Chains A and B, each alone.
Chain A
Amino acid sequence: LRDFLELSVSAAASGCIYGLIALAYLLMIRPTGIINFAVGEWAMVAAFGGHLLLSRYEFPYLPGLALVLAFMLGVGWASERIAVRPLVEKGSPILAPILALLGVLVVTREVISVSFPPDPMPVPSAFGYGRLEIAGIGGSYQSFFIIAATALVFAGAWAFFEKTLWGKSFEAVALNRRAAALMGINLSRVTALSFAGGAAVAGFAGLLVSPNISAHYLMGVPLAIQGFTALVIGGVGRVEGALLGGLLLAFAEQLTARYAPIPSGFAQGVPLLFLIIFLLVRPTGLLRVRA
């Protein structure tokens, strides 16, 4: 049982990371319908930002975090300006910006790859390294921090969509772009904001996970895949779906690796099996859009 509880903490922390990446996807998909696989690279950019500010220049954690997230808002906004808006304004099919964003992915990765040494770089965690036991549940400081921080982000996102006028306008655009535009909602501003927000959330995930997995130039794609799988499981309809999908995915991954009587090489296939099954059986994900 002690093992199980310990594993639950680690799986929950991983699940929160996947959930945040899924949320980043969702923020952009909802109003625009664009799947942006560059979210993984955004997480990587933020991880390198964390390495620079927190490790190399030894900023205190919170100001460092805030600076990196502010930078990520800019990165998301710029990506939208450069790779999405010109195409949307020309009336290109939805596939065009998705492909352009794949280009953003490659360019981002290569920029990082040539600007930094090839090795993984350390990123400090919020409270250093150590083990915390709460009522028999043991885990690292960073795991608990990831869980708490993710809970805050999701609470914030939920409140934003449910309680604020801005959030409502996002929803309106998601439901019907034309009608929303007729109601006076500025479509391009919503799109720009959704990309800026997506980049900040993805960047936050990158900052949270990099103390464990280090900042390196190949970290983006696995995160993008895990986040996308989480999104498919949870569904794009609701914010909570992203978190639910992330947690389910991480628990499936880690519990099979730990307990399933199959060689651990095969256990890696389980998340992808999940992805295929959900795409086939329930392509809208677990949580459906509320009518």
Chain B
Amino acid sequence: MKKLFTGAALALACVVCHAQETIKIGVITDRVGVSKPYSEPATEGLVFGANEINQKGGVLGRRIELLIEDDQSRPDISAALARKLVDQGVVFILSVSLSPATQQQQTVTMEAKTPQMTPMNSADYLTTQLNNPYFWQTGPLGSTQIATLLAHARGKKFKRVALITDNSELGQAIAKAFKGTLEKAGIQIVADEVVARGATSAMPQMQKIRAANPEAMFLAGVLTAENVLIFRAYKELGVKFPIHSSYNLSVPIYETVAKGLTDGITFVDAYDPEKPEVKAFVAAYKKGTGKDPQNLHGYGYDGIYLVADAIRRAGSTDKEKIREAMQKTNYAGVMGKKGMRYTFPEGKRAGFDTDGMVVRVYEKDKQGRVVHVGQK
């Protein structure tokens, strides 16, 4: 009888401990859509980070449980998935598919008062179009990218430049940001070209750019295959003006898929291989998974650590307390220049330091050194 009683007590205790056990965090990623090349590594970094946190004892003594959903980067289904996650009791949603899909999820998180963050989306409108106090963005903004890229280019005193992008939503958004900043700086855009997704040649666009005779070309495209087409046409036409690229060129796949085409291209990145946090992350990731992480893994890794940090400071899983703690974030992660900390200045919900990006240059087929830091 006594034995039975202890058993029942143990079982009861276990029910309690089970209820206490996990903190549910939702992740909305893209496993089959256009953003898969970005979302997948970010999600891997995120999962790795969550495991690491759990191995170190979790948050508030509880384990993190990730509920991962795939919205294919489609705004039409992403909100429904956010609703599903909220109904499953998540206290936070991390969004790593495309910006438009993330934007759509906000309609749910705003209404359900559930904290949501994207650690990697770069569209400027995410925190400005909707006044959603439950949403944050810690990826570098499109406007920060171009400002950093331009700060580096400023020394070269360009007057006439060309702009080329693709017709993806993100490519268009980045091109728009590029254009605004270039025009504000009084730089004339002498050619403004678009290469469509699925094109088999970028020759007409590159010929047009060659005919306009720019001093440099800014590349805002984010579709790897189409960017490779652009580089092929560039090489075939034998033009020599320098290429300054969006952070898309920081994706390491270019080292293999664009072999022989990338030497000398400068690109903006949020990743400095020399930064101590990066070195520690790379070593830990390699030890844990046997694979080398990319910069993209860092976004997801920072994302889950930022959330864990907020919950820890909130001291509870109450969503309102997490919201307050998140807004007071002051955290140094993998991404950003040496010494950068994520913070949300008064009233702002975009947390990547506008001076936190770096400009790097391709040396042969390898992503090389940092040649410029910040917007100055």
Enumerate chain A interface residues (CB-CB to B < 8 A).
3, 6-7, 10-11, 13-14, 17-18, 110, 113, 118-122, 129, 131, 139-140, 209, 212-214, 216, 218-219, 221-223, 225-226, 250, 254-255, 257-258, 263-265, 267-268
Q: Are B236 and A131 in contact (CB under 8 A)?
A: yes
Enumerate chain B interface residues (CB-CB to A < 8 A).
32, 34, 36-37, 40, 167, 192-194, 196-201, 203-205, 207-208, 211, 224-226, 228-229, 232-233, 235-238, 251, 253, 256-257, 259-260
Q: Report A-chain residues with C-beta under 8 Å of the C-beta of B207.
A: 3, 6-7, 258
Closest 5 CB pairs of A and B: A222-B198, A258-B204, A10-B203, A119-B253, A257-B204
A221 CB contact (under 8 Å) in B198, B259, B260: B198
Q: Are B198 and A219 in contact (CB under 8 A)?
A: yes
4 other A-B residue contacts (CB within 8 Å) besides A6-B237, A222-B199: A221-B198, A222-B198, A263-B194, A264-B192
Count A/B pairs, Cβ under 8 Å.
104
Measured between alpha carbons, how far is A222 from B195 in the docked complex, in Å?
13
Distance in Å: Cβ of B221 to nearest Cβ of chain A: 12
List 7 A–B pairs whose Cβ atoms lie within 8 Å, in order of A's numbering: A120-B257, A214-B224, A214-B257, A222-B197, A226-B200, A257-B204, A268-B194
Knowing A140-B236, A212-B229, A226-B198, the reply to whether A110 touches B205 (Cβ < 8 A) is: no
Measured between alpha carbons, how far is A266 from B226 in the docked complex, in Å?
17
Q: Are B200 and A264 in contact (CB under 8 A)?
A: no
Q: Are B204 and A254 in contact (CB under 8 A)?
A: yes
Distance in Å: Cβ of B173 to nearest Cβ of chain A: 14
Q: Report B-chain residues with C-beta under 8 Å of the C-beta of A140.
A: 232, 236
Q: Report B-chain residues with C-beta under 8 Å of the C-beta of A222.
A: 197-199
Measured between alpha carbons, how far is A7 from B208 in the docked complex, in Å?
11
Q: Are A122 and B40 in contact (CB under 8 A)?
A: no
Q: Are B198 and A14 in contact (CB under 8 A)?
A: no
Q: Report B-chain residues with C-beta under 8 Å of the C-beta of A3.
A: 207, 211
Q: Are A120 and B201 in contact (CB under 8 A)?
A: no
Q: Are A258 and B32 in contact (CB under 8 A)?
A: no
Q: Report B-chain residues with C-beta under 8 Å of the C-beta of A226.
A: 198, 200
Measured between alpha carbons, how far is A177 from B204 in the docked complex, in Å?
45
Q: Report A-chain residues with C-beta under 8 Å of the C-beta of B233.
A: 10
A213 CB contact (under 8 Å) in B36, B194, B225, B251: B225
B192 CB contact (under 8 Å) in A17, A213, A263: A263
Measured between alpha carbons, how far is A7 from B236 in the docked complex, in Å?
12
Q: Report B-chain residues with C-beta under 8 Å of the C-beta of A17.
A: 200
Q: Report A-chain residues with C-beta under 8 Å of the C-beta of B199.
A: 213, 222
What residue in chain A is nearest B211 (Cβ atoms)? A3
Q: Report A-chain residues with C-beta under 8 Å of the C-beta of B192.
A: 263-264
Distance in Å: Cβ of A38 to nearest Cβ of chain B: 16
B37 CB contact (under 8 Å) in A11, A13, A18, A118: A118
Knowing A119-B251, A120-B253, A140-B232, the reply to whether A13 touches B224 (Cβ < 8 A) is: no
Q: Are A118 and B36 in contact (CB under 8 A)?
A: yes
Knowing A120-B228, A122-B257, the reply to whether A14 touches B167 (Cβ < 8 A) is: no
Q: Are A216 and B225 in contact (CB under 8 A)?
A: yes
What residue in chain A is nearest B261 (Cβ atoms)? A129
Measured between alpha carbons, how far is A121 from B237 in the docked complex, in Å?
24
Q: Are B200 and A14 in contact (CB under 8 A)?
A: yes
Q: Are B257 and A264 in contact (CB under 8 A)?
A: no
Distance in Å: Cβ of B346 to nearest Cβ of chain A: 38
Measured between alpha carbons, how far is A206 from B211 in the docked complex, in Å?
31
Q: Report B-chain residues with C-beta under 8 Å of the C-beta of A113.
A: 32, 36
Measured between alpha carbons, how far is A221 from B196 in the docked complex, in Å?
13
Q: Are A119 and B224 in contact (CB under 8 A)?
A: yes
Q: Report A-chain residues with C-beta under 8 Å of the C-beta of B200.
A: 13-14, 17-18, 209, 212-213, 226, 250
Measured between alpha carbons, how far is A139 from B238 in the docked complex, in Å?
12
B201 CB contact (under 8 Å) in A216, A223, A254: A254
Measured between alpha carbons, how far is A140 from B253 in the docked complex, in Å?
23
Measured between alpha carbons, how far is A122 from B224 in the docked complex, in Å?
11
Measured between alpha carbons, how far is A131 from B260 in the docked complex, in Å?
14
What residue in chain A is nearest B200 (Cβ atoms)? A14
What residue in chain B is nearest A265 (Cβ atoms)? B194
Q: Are A118 and B201 in contact (CB under 8 A)?
A: no
Measured between alpha carbons, how far is A14 from B198 in the docked complex, in Å?
11
Measured between alpha carbons, how far is A216 from B224 in the docked complex, in Å?
10
Q: Report A-chain residues with C-beta under 8 Å of the C-beta of B229.
A: 212-213
Q: Report A-chain residues with C-beta under 8 Å of the C-beta of B237.
A: 6
Knowing A6-B203, A120-B253, the reply to whether A268 touches B228 (Cβ < 8 A) is: no
Distance in Å: Cβ of B175 to nearest Cβ of chain A: 10
Q: Report B-chain residues with C-beta under 8 Å of the C-beta of A264.
A: 192-194, 205, 208
Measured between alpha carbons, how far is A267 from B194 in the docked complex, in Å?
9
B225 CB contact (under 8 Å) in A110, A120, A129, A131: A120
Knowing A212-B229, A221-B198, the reply to whether A268 touches B167 (Cβ < 8 A) is: yes
A219 CB contact (under 8 Å) in B193, B203, B225, B238: B225
What residue in chain B is nearest A9 (Cβ atoms)? B203
Q: Are A7 and B204 in contact (CB under 8 A)?
A: yes
What residue in chain A is nearest B196 (Cβ atoms)? A268
Distance in Å: Cβ of B253 to nearest Cβ of chain A: 4
Q: Report A-chain residues with C-beta under 8 Å of the C-beta of B203.
A: 6-7, 10-11, 254
Knowing A226-B198, A265-B167, A268-B167, the reply to whether A214 touches B228 (Cβ < 8 A) is: yes
What residue in chain B is nearest A146 (Cβ atoms)? B200
Distance in Å: Cβ of A22 to nearest Cβ of chain B: 14
Measured between alpha carbons, how far is A120 from B259 in the docked complex, in Å?
13
Measured between alpha carbons, how far is A129 from B234 in the docked complex, in Å?
13
Distance in Å: Cβ of A161 to nearest Cβ of chain B: 27
What residue in chain A is nearest B226 (Cβ atoms)? A213
Measured between alpha carbons, how far is A213 from B257 in the docked complex, in Å?
10
Q: Report A-chain residues with C-beta under 8 Å of the C-beta of B259.
A: 122
Distance in Å: Cβ of B140 to nearest Cβ of chain A: 21
Q: Report B-chain residues with C-beta under 8 Å of the C-beta of A257.
A: 204-205, 208
Distance in Å: Cβ of B44 to nearest Cβ of chain A: 11
